[in-house]
Amino acid sequence: MSNELQLQTGPYRTTFIGTEIVRESTVQEWEVYGEILRRVDEAKQWAIGDWLVDGKRHYGDGLYKKAAAILGQEESTLRKYKSLSDNLELFRRRNNLTWAHHAEVASIKKIAEDEKGELALSDETDYEKIAAFLEAAEKDTLSVREIRDRVRIYKQKQTEHIQLANAPEKYSIIYADPPWQYTSGDQHTHETQDTVLEDHYPSMSISELSKLPVHNMVHNEAVLFVWVTSPLLEECFQVIRAWGFQYKTSMVWDKVAHNVGNYVSVRHELLLICTRGSYAPRVRKLHDSVYVEERTEHSAKPEWFRQVIDEIYPTGKRIELFARKHIDGWDVWGNEV
């Protein structure tokens, strides 16, 4: 390969082996050339992708092996370059956005109706929506991370739209405070009758709770927030599994007031967070896992926890099981409502 001129602007001439300074530069020329070099580097992925698109007619299925030998890059990386160039032709690209910006939006698909009359994501690229995202990114000078977050939220809303259209009676968010049945030998004793569930409303055994058809009323992707006390922590997982969920993490309510126990003086209760399928929070905000608020009437939980749920899952059909009152935006089920 000859050392021919590669790039020349103002006082700079860049060849294969480096940049020659042909005359003294000004500050503005130095800054401009730096910007050119940055854009040349960012244009590399597009250049390789378009080169691969053209190379397909020469090498067919052997394209990536040949290109990897020439460029010294992994075949998987080259496939990404070509895929994006294939998907977003030259006229769909924005000059003021990076290759990475385009890569974040390229996978957006249209929603279509299948042969059964149900909605589903199609294989058809939604170029109109992609253009809208790119226009907004350019107008608002969004970073790659910012446009990635916007695309993620849009895709989540697509999923929820499909779920609601196909099964409008099903739920994505479940909040439950089950009337756990305590047996002899647990931490609660007859010295603290005001904390025994049977004294306030009928309790249910693990078997009875497990038989509730919760798994039939939720989408394949859903989240469950369920309250449990320490003595029943092990048994509660039977109910969680029966309802079709998998434990992920927990929050702690520090109730300040103490409960008499056999081993420790208990002042906390646990809110377990469980998911069905992939249903991560829709808003990326990490709340403290421990919340302190003195308990009031029996079994009443602080509204702060519901506010957290509404904040990190602002969309999606929701229901509270074993509810004590009606809440705006929530369906409720329980013997007190």
Lay out the sheet containing 318-321: strands in order across: 290-292, 246-259, 266-276, 218-228, 171-176, 318-321, 331-333
- pLDDT over 90 at 159, yes or no: no
List where CATH 3.40.50.150 sits in the chain.
171-333
Mean pLDDT, the chain, rounded, equals 88
Per-residue pLDDT, 335: 61
Residue 163 to residues 71, 110, 171, 216, 222, Cα–Cα distance (Å): 45, 15, 9, 14, 10
pLDDT band at 82 (very low <50, low <70, confident <90, very high): very high
pLDDT of 34-79, one tens digit each?
988 888 887 899 999 999 999 999 999 999 999 999 999 999 999 9
Q: CATH second-level architecture of 171-333?
A: 3-Layer(aba) Sandwich (3.40)
Per-residue pLDDT, 3: 54
pLDDT band at 336 (very low <50, low <70, confident <90, very high): low
Nearest to 20 by CA among 33, 11, 28: 11
Per-residue pLDDT, 167: 82
Report the phi/psi class of residue 242: left, alpha or beta, with left for phi > 0 and alpha for psi in -120 to 50: alpha
pLDDT band at 81 (very low <50, low <70, confident <90, very high): very high
CA dist., res. 276 & res. 271, Å (int): 16
Question: Dihedral of CA 246/217/150/81: which sign?
Answer: positive
Per-residue pLDDT, 56: 95
Residue with the larger pLDDT of the pair 311 and 116: 311
Per-residue pLDDT, 266: 87
Question: Is 203 within 8 Å of 250 (Cβ atoms)?
Answer: no
Nearest to 101 by CA among 140, 75, 159, 67: 140
Per-residue pLDDT, 191: 37
pLDDT of 111-156, one tens digit each?
998 887 788 999 999 999 999 999 999 999 999 999 999 999 889 8
pLDDT band at 334 (very low <50, low <70, confident <90, very high): confident
- DSSP state letters, 204-245: B-HHHHHTS-GGGSEEEEEEEEEEE-GGGHHHHHHHHHHTT-
CA dist., res. 198 & res. 210, Å (int): 19
Pairing of strands 12-15, 218-228: unpaired
- pLDDT over 50 at 11, yes or no: yes
| pTM exceeds cut of 0.85 | no
Question: Dihedral of CA 265/271/273/274: which sign?
Answer: positive
CA dist., res. 77 & res. 306, Å (int): 44
Question: Dihedral of CA 116/120/123/127: which sign?
Answer: positive
pLDDT band at 5 (very low <50, low <70, confident <90, very high): low
pLDDT of 247-285, one tens digit each?
999 999 999 887 777 888 889 999 999 999 989 998 888
Per-residue pLDDT, 190: 38
Mean pLDDT of 87-115: 93
Question: Is 337 within 8 Å of 326 (Cβ atoms)?
Answer: yes
